[in-house]
Structure 1
Amino acid sequence: MKRVSAVLALAIASAFAQAAVTQTTRYVIISENNGKQMGEQVVENHDDGLTKVRFIYKDNGRGPELTEEFRLGADRTMTAYHVKGNSTFGAVVDEKFERNGGQASWVSTTEKGAREVRGPALYVPLNSSFEVASRAISALAAAPGRSLPLLPSGTLTHKVLDEMEVSGPGGKKQSVELIAQTGIGLSPQFMWATKGAQPELFAVVVPGVFVAAVDGWQGNGKALAERQKKAEAQMLNDLAAKLQHPLQGLTVVKNARIFDSNKGSVGAPSDVYVLRGRISAILPAGAPVRGAVNEIDAAGRIMLPGLYDMHAHLGRWEGALHVAAGVTTLRDLGNDNAQLQMMIDETAGGKLLAPQIVPTGFLEGESQYSSNGGFVVKTLEQSKRAIDWYAGHGYPQLKIYNSFPKEILKETVAYAHLRGMRVSGHVPAGLRAQEALDAGYDELQHINQVMLNFLFKPGVETRSLERFYLPAEKVAGLDFNSKAVKDFVATLKKKQIVVDPTLATFAFLKQKDGDVNEPWAAVKDNMPPDVARGFHVGTMKIADAATQARYEKSYAKMVQFVGTLHKAGVPIVAGTDDLAGFTLHSELALLVKAGLTPAEAIQVATRNGARYTRTSADRGSIETGKLADLVLVDGDPTKNIEDLRKVAAVITRGHIIYPKEVDQALGIKPFVEQVPLVKPLEAVPANIAGSNEGMLRQIGAIGRKHD
């Protein structure tokens, strides 16, 4: 009888709960590349004012899973909010916000805070679903000037950029608006919203990545993406025009101390002449100036060749941050093919402020863990067709990913080599790094993929989060003097296998909630408040102090191992795979921590970058005839690598860019205040060759020296 009563009570409670839900909205998240579902968001609005959200997103074997509950006030902003779950890499999420009258308070695994508040204000959770953005759209639509203060700090605004009609189930049609929100992060956030007195989220489109749309309406994804890309293009074109200053005619950069990336040393002050994006002459400082129409006084600053970021997945809004950090060449290691081609064209045409892109073809296999960029293949014939496409579009390298079929690996690598491409990547599931080298790899990406060579055992799923947790757990106890380790290092050296360790990215392995992770400590005070706040959020699920200590030791040994590779003669390149621009400086600082000198670390980011992108003929060093990709830096990064963050000016593609202006445009506190300005000079007639015979002999000698 008791059991029957309990079952009846449960049924009644369930029926009541269902009756309390007044509306359920489901969003599906699909790959924009291949239409594969990557997640969903289910929103339940209850008749007592409570909203419940279930959110899940998975790509590449990882992603957040969240449950939320919140209530709104009369001004459409949240008065209570609670989110629980796990972040992308498994860290525990548990965050609460509450507002009682004029007092707001919040607490999470990372922080605890409170503030007095007057009037409407939007709380920004550290981890949340799209529904939080949806409610912000509604609140901003009702706010004067479409602007509201943020909690803990900042201001959010939104602007309508476009409108289009979309079609849904049963022939239904409606109009939706493209909104750009600014005030959170380092770039605008784009969303499509319904129209009306209380607009709400209709879709989120990340071109080339995914479309999250109301279920039944996701078929509009490609049309929404195209309209959004055009609207973004106009904003980015305006930004590029504002921040790129063309150097018209012959320009001389006077009194610069040139870093020789081949020798790893700084030379005597020189004057460097730039014409149409190339170095036309290098003379001793103080030599008579003839023919230049512009002058830039470097005032004794160090001049570096443009830096290389050898591991990025470029987004259109990230290019300016890369350039401001001195990155003039970027190797893209996997992107939506159409999106990447578009960015290459936009950059070449001056419509997008970004480094010159060296594209890498992305090749993945089908599985529940697949990453959805580039080409996803099953057969050798499909692999060859993908490689043909990449080779035909000028890609010098192929990147193979986690789920690639190991049965066709060797033949695929051989075919890529036949088409003149280098081959790198992750190690396909079921293999060790040594087996990838045996198949013909030229390069390995990520320090965890290297360490898994010694930790992998059959049955371990290296496409799941285990590829992060296993190295964090086990590298601490790995003996670098063991025969297995020494033999592997010897193989890397003998075959000259390049290692792209991305150490700064993998610092997340040991970050504790509340602490600022090592790569961001030097930049946090320059960042907008909401970005700096995110630096305190841990990534991994770290159960206790003993686990924390073990993960810290493992990461320290990974850094040490990169130093071991360098000393052994294994080529290292500097890649990031994280926050644009700033991460490269942190990567080089970690290379110094691993045992490289600051000058050697800069060589890695210049000479090695050029060598392993096959661009040494025109980049990677400062020489007459090469591209004028030049970086002026305050201080001396060859002695203190942290001075590399003090980029005063960047010259590339015939333009000068001031990082100070980029920083100010993106809400960042500049790292350099005084910049070397362009000073117009009186033009000198062209028929003065006789009076410049000595100078012309010098130019000729320098040119012959570098032939």
Structure 2
Amino acid sequence: MSRSTITRTSSAAALLFAAATVTPGAQRTTDSVTAFTNVTVVDVRTGQLAPSSSIVVRGNRIVAVDASTRMKLPDGATVVDGRGAHVIPGLWDMHVHTFNNSQSAGTNNHAVAFALQIANGVTGVRDMWTDLDDIRLARDWRKETDAGRMVSPRLLATSPILDGNPPAWANSVGLASAVQAREVVDSLVAAGVEELKVYTRLTPDVYLAITERAKVHGIPVVGHPPASMRLTAVVEAGQKSIEHLLGIPGQCSSAPADAKQDAEGHDRQRLFIETYDPKRCAELFDLFIRKGTWVVPTVALHRNRLLGFEPTWEQRPGTEYVSAVERAAWTAAHKQGVQRVNEDKRRGPHRRAQLAFLLRLIGSMDRAGVKLLAGTDLGNPFMIAGFSLHEELALFVEAGMTPLNALRTATVNPARYMDAVDRLGAVEAGKLADFVLLDGNPLTDIHNTTRIRAVVTNGHHLD
């Protein structure tokens, strides 16, 4: 992305950020009508464009989409001339951490994150570590948003992290037995969790107790495959989403099991690259498709971890919104990365090779028809609310995906994942009024998703 594009994107975001932060509390009336005229509607399901269209929004719903020449605008409608704009559905970031459970339970980043997400056209997020107090707070936000009294992304909550005993993270739920796992699942479902997030230290018996009990309740299991299980066993157990590409490089490797087990860190990743077996990968991807498994690559996160030594993070769009505390921590992390690369000159090339390998896997999954979702793992170093999702989409295209397929991972695919195609994932009559006006066609250049002219979220028009 050019520096001029970065500046243009950040300037537009600044205006939308201001609008999103001052609008909460302003009641949107349920009968207010706004008409967006002379726009090109992008159908992300088919890739078709509908130029010279008009969109009519009443309250928080789209009530009509038709050619501007045929559209009779309702009396009293506020008219927004969208001439030259391409309209896409609101974007979803399907892996974020709104709540600070890894460091400071009971706190969250919504005040800044929500505004930046909306400013970047992100009208929905899936939070991947939501404890019971967080769930209650998220419900309050949802009520305020649905009533039009708050401008925020829609939020799909998961659960506290379910891990082995001891857990990898403080504030997680450490499970030592299958009996305990079933009891915890029952209690979380009773408390209203929407998905169960599992983690890497679970033993096979405890993990399978979670998935079996989850099936009884009809609730999805998502997250990290246990390190003690083959990825194919996790998929066969019915886990709905696999995060961060975990387990995929190893499953695609022809190396003996003991070699995979003995190798550590970057040596293990190098082994996976050297023993990559396309046939094994094809079999795995076919299993994903047959079992309906979704994959959330979070490749921007991988890029930042692998190439954190490169002096580019401060040039990325949105860094002006990074707090002084985060900036200091990120600067220290960058210096540490530079030091490690300087100490071992092989480290830089190896890390670039790892990223290229992950991009190769993503491209292969897309071509095979695996269901993919865009997610950033916001809450980690170098990840910026809203902005990082656009980087994720650009990296998908770099991996070989078409701009249309990349766009689907943040629009119609989340709607399908949530069984919400009746209200999300398209700009058409009857859907919720979540859409973005762009000054460019994203199907010809995915970077045009950053050229945001206006955002409509739950019927609120922000420009």
Return the TM-score normalized by structure 1: 0.54
Match of 1:649 in 2: 454
Query: How far apart in 2 are the matches of 1:585 and 1:299?
Result: 24
Query: How far apart in 1 are the matches of 2:61 and 2:428?
Result: 9
1:105-124 aligned at under 5 Å gives the runs none
Match of 1:321 in 2: 116
> Could you tell me whether the CA contact under 8 Å between 2:269 and 2:354 is conserved in 1?
yes
> Could you tell me whether the CA contact under 8 Å between 1:359 and 1:397 is conserved in 2?
yes
* 1:504 aligned counterpart, secondary structure: helix
What displacement does 1:382 show? 3.2
CA gap of 1:459–1:408, structure 2 versus 1, over 3 A, is farther
CA gap of 1:393–1:440, structure 2 versus 1, over 3 A, is same
Match of 1:479 in 2: 276
CA gap of 1:259–1:486, structure 2 versus 1, over 3 A, is same
What displacement does 1:626 show? 1.1
1:516-531 aligned at under 5 Å gives the runs 516=312, 522-523=316-317
Query: How far apart in 2 are the matches of 1:426 and 1:388?
Result: 20
1:131-150 aligned at under 5 Å gives the runs none
> Could you tell me whether the CA contact under 8 Å between 2:21 and 2:115 is conserved in 1?
no
Which of 37, 41, 61 aligns to 1:258? It is: 41
1:455-474 aligned at under 5 Å gives the runs 457=257, 469=266, 472-474=269-271
Match of 1:549 in 2: 349
Letter in 2 for 1:334: W
> Could you tell me whether the CA contact under 8 Å between 1:344 and 1:356 is conserved in 2?
no
CA gap of 1:612–1:529, structure 2 versus 1, over 3 A, is closer
Spell out, residue by residue over 1:105-161, the C-alpha distance to the aligned partner (whole angstroms, 9 max, x if none): xxxxxxxxxxxxxxxxxxxxxxxxxxxxxxxxxxxxxxxxxxxxxxxxxxxxxxxxx
> Could you tell me whether the CA contact under 8 Å between 2:244 and 2:296 is conserved in 1?
yes
Letter in 2 for 1:445: E
Say yes or no: does 1:339 pair with 2:134: yes
Q: Indicate the larger mover: 400-409 or 350-359.
A: 350-359
Query: How far apart in 1 are the matches of 2:422 and 2:273?
Result: 42
1:575-654 aligned at under 5 Å gives the runs 575-578=375-378, 579-654=384-459
> Could you tell me whether the CA contact under 8 Å between 1:312 and 1:333 is conserved in 2?
yes
* 1:354 aligned counterpart, secondary structure: coil
> Could you tell me whether the CA contact under 8 Å between 2:37 and 2:53 is conserved in 1?
yes
What displacement does 1:375 show? 3.7
CA gap of 1:388–1:353, structure 2 versus 1, over 3 A, is farther
CA gap of 1:561–1:366, structure 2 versus 1, over 3 A, is closer
Match of 2:284 in 1: 488
Match of 1:359 in 2: 157
Query: How far apart in 2 are the matches of 1:649 and 1:244?
Result: 18
Query: How far apart in 2 are the matches of 1:456 and 1:396?
Result: 38
* 2:80 aligned counterpart, secondary structure: strand
Structure having greater relative contact order (Cα 8 Å, sep ≥ 6): 2
Letter in 2 for 1:632: L
- Structure 2 gap ranges (5+): 1-12, 99-108, 379-383
1:258-337 aligned at under 5 Å gives the runs 258-286=41-69, 287-314=71-98, 315-317=109-111, 318-337=113-132
Letter in 2 for 1:506: H
Query: How far apart in 2 are the matches of 1:349 and 1:471?
Result: 48
Letter in 2 for 1:358: L
Query: How far apart in 1 are the matches of 2:202 and 2:22?
Result: 38
What displacement does 1:437 show? 1.6
> Could you tell me whether the CA contact under 8 Å between 2:36 and 2:54 is conserved in 1?
yes
Letter in 2 for 1:515: P
Spell out, residue by residue over 1:36-55, the C-alpha distance to the aligned partner (whole angstroms, 9 max, x if none): xxxxxxxxxxxxxxxxxxxx
Query: How far apart in 1 are the matches of 2:365 and 2:335?
Result: 29
Query: How far apart in 1 are the matches of 2:336 and 2:237?
Result: 33
> Could you tell me whether the CA contact under 8 Å between 2:61 and 2:431 is conserved in 1?
yes
CA gap of 1:657–1:384, structure 2 versus 1, over 3 A, is farther
Q: Indicate the larger mover: 617-626 or 387-396.
A: 387-396
Say yes or no: does 1:508 pair with 2:304: yes
> Could you tell me whether the CA contact under 8 Å between 1:619 and 1:627 is conserved in 2?
yes
* 2:295 aligned counterpart, secondary structure: strand
Query: How far apart in 1 are the matches of 2:183 and 2:116?
Result: 35
* 1:447 aligned counterpart, secondary structure: coil
Query: How far apart in 2 are the matches of 1:539 and 1:471?
Result: 22
> Could you tell me whether the CA contact under 8 Å between 1:432 and 1:456 is conserved in 2?
no
* 2:289 aligned counterpart, secondary structure: helix
> Could you tell me whether the CA contact under 8 Å between 2:24 and 2:151 is conserved in 1?
no
- Structure 1 gap ranges (5+): 1-185, 187-235, 659-707
> Could you tell me whether the CA contact under 8 Å between 1:246 and 1:656 is conserved in 2?
no
* 1:349 aligned counterpart, secondary structure: helix
Say yes or no: does 1:402 pair with 2:203: no
What displacement does 1:577 show? 0.3
TM-align CA RMSD: 3.2
Decide which structure has the larger Cα Rg and report it.
Answer: 1
CA gap of 1:244–1:372, structure 2 versus 1, over 3 A, is farther
Query: How far apart in 2 are the matches of 1:524 and 1:319?
Result: 14
CA gap of 1:246–1:461, structure 2 versus 1, over 3 A, is farther
CA gap of 1:582–1:564, structure 2 versus 1, over 3 A, is same
Query: How far apart in 2 are the matches of 1:443 and 1:548?
Result: 31
> Could you tell me whether the CA contact under 8 Å between 1:370 and 1:403 is conserved in 2?
yes
Spell out, residue by residue over 1:432-454, the C-alpha distance to the aligned partner (whole angstroms, 9 max, x if none): 31221233222211124422434
What displacement does 1:333 show? 1.4
> Could you tell me whether the CA contact under 8 Å between 1:281 and 1:624 is conserved in 2?
yes
Question: If each structure's strand is expressed as a fraction of its own residues, which one has the higher value?
Answer: 1
Query: How far apart in 2 are the matches of 1:646 and 1:244?
Result: 27
1:420-431 aligned at under 5 Å gives the runs 420-431=218-229
Query: How far apart in 1 are the matches of 2:413 and 2:45?
Result: 10
Letter in 2 for 1:416: A
Q: Indicate the larger mover: 549-558 or 354-363.
A: 354-363
Query: How far apart in 2 are the matches of 1:325 and 1:471?
Result: 37
What displacement does 1:657 show? 2.6
Spell out, residue by residue over 1:646-683, the C-alpha distance to the aligned partner (whole angstroms, 9 max, x if none): 2222112231234xxxxxxxxxxxxxxxxxxxxxxxxx
Say yes or no: does 1:440 pair with 2:238: yes
Query: How far apart in 1 are the matches of 2:319 and 2:161?
Result: 39
Query: How far apart in 2 are the matches of 1:490 and 1:538?
Result: 42
Q: Indicate the larger mover: 588-597 or 409-418.
A: 409-418
What displacement does 1:326 show? 0.8
CA gap of 1:643–1:366, structure 2 versus 1, over 3 A, is same
What displacement does 1:342 show? 0.6
* 1:268 aligned counterpart, secondary structure: strand
Q: Identity rate of aligned residues, in percent? A: 25
* 2:309 aligned counterpart, secondary structure: coil
1:72-221 aligned at under 5 Å gives the runs none
Which of 18, 26, 32 aligns to 1:249? It is: 32
What displacement does 1:460 show? 7.8
1:407-422 aligned at under 5 Å gives the runs 407-422=205-220
